[in-house]
Structure 1
Amino acid sequence: MDAEQDSARPVRAGEELNVAVLETYLGLGSIMGVSQFPGGYSNLTYLITIGERDYVLRRPPVGAKAIKGGHDMGREFRVLSLLREAGYSKIPEPIAYCDDEHVLGCPFYVMERVPGVILRAQSAPKLGLSVETMQNLSNALVDALVELHALPIEPNLIQLGKPDGYVQRQVEGWHKRYLTAQTDNVSAMTELARYLTDNRPLNHPEITLLHNDFKYDNVVLNSELTQIKAVLDWEMCTVGDPLMDVGTSLSYWAEAGDDLFRKSFNLTWLPGNLTRREVADRYAERSGRDVSDMLYYYVFGLFKNAVVMQQIYGRYKQGLTKDERFAGLLAGVRALSAVGVKALETGKL
C-alpha cells in the first residue's frame, strides 16, 4: 500500500518553527528534521524527527487567536491523557504540552507518531482500493464510532464537557461563531440556523464521549487496510448527545451522486462504501440507539462545517493566512448550506 498521500512536505512559508528553541524546550535530543503535513484546514501539524523516533507537533493556525474557544492545544493534549487513563488505546501517546508563547509564539503539543496509512480523498481514487476493502473499512469506521460512544465517561471523561443542554448550546454557539466570522450574506445559512433553533430534538437524554470530527482522514490504518490503529484530531472532543457525533460524520460522508466539492471531503463516495442512510442504520443496529431524528443532526453537521469554512475564509480575507487553499471557501459555505436546505426539503440524508 502506497502511503505517500500522508507524507510530510517542506514547511509552508510563514509557518516555520524555531527549531533551536524547540529542541532546547523538549530536551529529547537533536532535532534531525522538521516537515509539515499538508492536509487539513485547521491546526498546523508537523513531523519532528529526533534520533530514530518520529513525533508529531500540533499548533494553531496563524491568526487563530481571533476565534474564541477554538484551537485549544492544551485541551487536546488533556483529552489524549484522559483517554489513556480511561484505557482507550487507539490514540497516540501524548508527550509534552507547552503554553509558553515565548517558545514558538503559540501553545503547542507533541505526541508520538503512529505509523500507518491515512486515506485522504484527494489521493484515494489513485490507490486502486477494491470494493471489498472499502466495504470493510466503511463498516469498521462506523463500528469504531460505536466503540467510542461505549466508553465509560465516569469518573474522568465526564470532565471534558457539560452535557446538560449540550445540543442547544452547540446550535447557539455555532450560530454566534458564524455571525462573528460572517463576510457575505448567505441566505441558506440563515435558514439552517432558524431550523436548528426551532426543531431541537428533546428525546435523546443519553450522554457519551464525542469525538466531533470522526472521518476517514482522522484515523490511522495498518498497512493492509484492515484495522484502525489510532484515532486522531481530538480538538473538539467533549461529552453530550452521541447523535451529534454521528451527524457530523454524516456531513462529511459524500456519496457517488454528490458534487465534486463534497467528494473532496472524504473517500466515502468510492464503490463499496455505505451510503449515509446505511451508516445511520448500521450505527443504530450496533449501538441500539434510535436514529429517527438523524436528519436534524445531519443538518447540524453541515451547518457546523460551513461555519468552520467561514471562519477560515474570514482569516484569509483579513490577510491572517496566505494559504491559497482558503481563497475559495466562501463557495464551500454556500454549497454546504444549500445541501442542508435540500435535505430539509426532501427529508433525506
Structure 2
Amino acid sequence: MSHIIPVRKGEEINKEKLEAYLRKNFKDLPDSPLEIRQFGTGASNLTYALNIGNWEAVLRRAPMGPVAPKAHDMKREHQFLSVLAEHFPLAPRPFLFCEDDSIVGKPFILMEKKEGILIDTDFPEEIEPTPALGKRISEMMVDMLVNLHSVPYKGTILEKMTKPEGFLQRQVHGWIARFERVKTEDLPELERLKTWLVHHIPTSPEPAIIHYDYKLNNALFSEDLSKMTGLLDWEMATVGDPLADLGAAMSYWQEPDDPPELKAGFGKPSVTTLAGFYTRKEFVKSYSRKSGRDVEHFPFYLSFGYFKLAGICQQIYYRYKNGQTNDHRFARYGEFAKSLVRYSWLTAFQSERGKL
C-alpha cells in the first residue's frame, strides 16, 4: 500500500509497551523486532502500519489531545467492522479492541492490513491515466457504494448500536452545534446556511449501512486497477440515510470546473478532475439507476455534505490553532472550512433557483 511514511514527530507510540502487548495477545509471533510506520493520508484518527517479521496489522487510535464528544470511538468502529467483515469483504477484518490507554496513549483497534494501490492526487508513475480508466474507476466507486448500501444490518449488533429513525435531523442539528463549538471567526453565510439546512430537511429513504467518509483516497485497488481491494476508515460508519452517504461522498468528489479553493483545499486537486472521471451529476445518476433510489432532493444532501466537511475541517483546525496537534498540514484547514461553508451556501442558493 502506498502513502506509508516514517512516524511523524509528536505522534510516536511506545514501541516497547506495544510489542509486549502484541506478544501477550498474539501467539507464535516471529522473533523479529516490531516495526512501526504511519499512514501519511488522513487527518482524523492516527493510523499505523505494524510489522513483526511477516506478521502485519494496522493500528488505529484517536488523535493527540482532546477530541470532540463521541468522536474517534474505537470500540464502535471495531464492532462495525466485526459485522461488515462477514458481508462486505472490502472492509478490513478487526483483530481486537484495546481500551487500555496506557499502551499507545489512547484506546485502539488492531485490524487486517488490506493490500492495494491508493489513488489520491496522482496515479502511480507506471500507470498512464486515460479517459477510459477514469470512467472505470468512477463506475467501481458507484458500484461499491450501492453494494454497501445493500448489506443487511437487521438482526446484528448494529441494530442496537444505531438509531436510523431521525438520523438526518440529528445530523443537521448536530453538525451545526459542532461547528459553533469550534468556530474561530464569524462567517457571513453561516447563519443563512444553518437556517436553510434546518428548514429543508427531506424525508429519508429506507436506512442502510453507510460509510459516511466514502472517498477515493479511502479506497484501495488492484495493481491493474481492475477492481477494488479495500475500503478504509470506518470511523463514521453507521446505519442511516444512504443519500447522506452519497452527499458526503460527492462533497469530496472534485470536477475540473470547480473553483480553485475547492480543488486545492487539501493540497493538490484529486485525480477525479482528470478526463474520463464522472462529474458529480453523472455519479449521482449512475447511483440512482443502480440502487433504485430517488435523488430528487440530492441538492440538499450535497449542500449538507459540504457543510459537514466544513465542520470536520474546522474541528481539525481548532485543534491545530489551540496547539493540540503540530501537524502543519492543518494550518490551512481554517480557510478551507470557510470556502466549504461558502460553497455549501452556494449549492443551497442555486438549488432554490433550479440550477442544480
> Counterpart of 1:102 in 2: which secondary structure?
coil
In structure 2, what is the equivalent of residue 302 of structure 1? 306
Between the aligned partners of 1:80 and 1:164, the Cα distance in structure 2 is: 22
Between the aligned partners of 1:124 and 1:263, the Cα distance in structure 2 is: 17
Q: Which blocks of at least 5 consecutive residues in structure 1 are unaligned?
A: none
In structure 2, what is the equivalent of residue 69 of structure 1? 70
How far the C-alpha of 1:285 sits from its partner, in A, is: 0.2
Please point out which of 26, 42, 45 is paired with 2:44. Answer: 42
Between the aligned partners of 2:316 and 2:133, the Cα distance in structure 1 is: 34
Give the AA of the match of 1:219.
A
Please point out which of 17, 24, 34 is paired with 1:21. Answer: 17
| Counterpart contact for 1:56–1:111, Cα < 8 Å | yes
TM-score between both structures, scaled by the size of structure 2: 0.92
| Counterpart contact for 1:47–1:57, Cα < 8 Å | yes
Question: Are 2:225 and 1:254 equivalent residues in the alignment?
Answer: no
Written as runs of structure 1 = structure 2, the 5 A alignment for 1:2-21 is 6-21=2-17
Question: Are 2:335 and 1:339 equivalent residues in the alignment?
Answer: no
Mean Cα deviation higher: 165-174 or 124-133: 124-133
| Counterpart contact for 1:189–1:303, Cα < 8 Å | no
In structure 2, what is the equivalent of residue 198 of structure 1? 199
> Counterpart of 1:49 in 2: which secondary structure?
strand
Question: Are 2:231 and 1:231 equivalent residues in the alignment?
Answer: yes
> Counterpart of 1:101 in 2: which secondary structure?
coil
| Counterpart contact for 1:247–1:301, Cα < 8 Å | yes
> Counterpart of 1:145 in 2: which secondary structure?
helix
Q: Structure 1 vs Structure 2: percent identity of aligned residues? A: 39
In structure 1, what is the equivalent of residue 90 of structure 2? 90
Between the aligned partners of 1:299 and 1:21, the Cα distance in structure 2 is: 45
| Counterpart contact for 1:99–1:107, Cα < 8 Å | yes
Question: Are 2:285 and 1:289 equivalent residues in the alignment?
Answer: no
Between the aligned partners of 1:273 and 1:107, the Cα distance in structure 2 is: 39
In structure 2, what is the equivalent of residue 81 of structure 1? 82
How far the C-alpha of 1:31 sits from its partner, in A, is: 3.9
Deviations along 1:278-310, one digit per CA (max 9) or x if unpaired, are: 111111100111000000000110000000111
Between the aligned partners of 1:304 and 1:91, the Cα distance in structure 2 is: 23
| Counterpart contact for 2:19–2:34, Cα < 8 Å | no
> Counterpart of 2:224 in 1: which secondary structure?
coil
> Counterpart of 1:17 in 2: which secondary structure?
coil
How far the C-alpha of 1:125 sits from its partner, in A, is: 8.8
Written as runs of structure 1 = structure 2, the 5 A alignment for 1:155-194 is 155-156=155-156, 157-194=158-195
Question: Are 2:314 and 1:313 equivalent residues in the alignment?
Answer: no
User: How large is the RMSD of aligned CA atoms in angstroms?
Assistant: 1.6
Cα distance 1:44–1:207, how it changes in 2: closer, same or farther (>3 A)?
same
Between the aligned partners of 2:67 and 2:48, the Cα distance in structure 1 is: 22
> Counterpart of 2:109 in 1: which secondary structure?
strand
How far the C-alpha of 1:104 sits from its partner, in A, is: 1.3
Please point out which of 54, 57, 61 is paired with 1:55. Answer: 57
How far the C-alpha of 1:115 sits from its partner, in A, is: 1.2
Question: Are 2:130 and 1:130 equivalent residues in the alignment?
Answer: yes
Between the aligned partners of 1:228 and 1:238, the Cα distance in structure 2 is: 22
| Counterpart contact for 2:313–2:333, Cα < 8 Å | yes
| Counterpart contact for 2:196–2:348, Cα < 8 Å | no
Give the AA of the match of 2:246.
V
> Counterpart of 2:272 in 1: which secondary structure?
coil
Q: Which blocks of at least 5 consecutive residues in structure 2 are unaligned?
A: none
Between the aligned partners of 2:250 and 2:213, the Cα distance in structure 1 is: 10
Written as runs of structure 1 = structure 2, the 5 A alignment for 1:107-118 is 107-118=107-118
> Counterpart of 2:120 in 1: which secondary structure?
coil
Between the aligned partners of 1:32 and 1:261, the Cα distance in structure 2 is: 42
Give the AA of the match of 1:56.
V
Deviations along 1:47-77, one digit per CA (max 9) or x if unpaired, are: 11111122111111112x3310111111111
Deviations along 1:183-236, one digit per CA (max 9) or x if unpaired, are: 11112233222111011112x341111110111111111111110111111101
In structure 1, what is the equivalent of residue 331 of structure 2? 327
How far the C-alpha of 1:130 sits from its partner, in A, is: 1.5
Cα distance 1:243–1:339, how it changes in 2: closer, same or farther (>3 A)?
same
Between the aligned partners of 1:234 and 1:160, the Cα distance in structure 2 is: 15
How far the C-alpha of 1:105 sits from its partner, in A, is: 1.4
How many residue pairs get matched? 341
Cα distance 1:320–1:337, how it changes in 2: closer, same or farther (>3 A)?
same
Cα distance 1:102–1:178, how it changes in 2: closer, same or farther (>3 A)?
same
Between the aligned partners of 2:99 and 2:34, the Cα distance in structure 1 is: 24
Between the aligned partners of 2:67 and 2:191, the Cα distance in structure 1 is: 23
TM-score between both structures, scaled by the size of structure 1: 0.94
Between the aligned partners of 1:228 and 1:125, the Cα distance in structure 2 is: 16
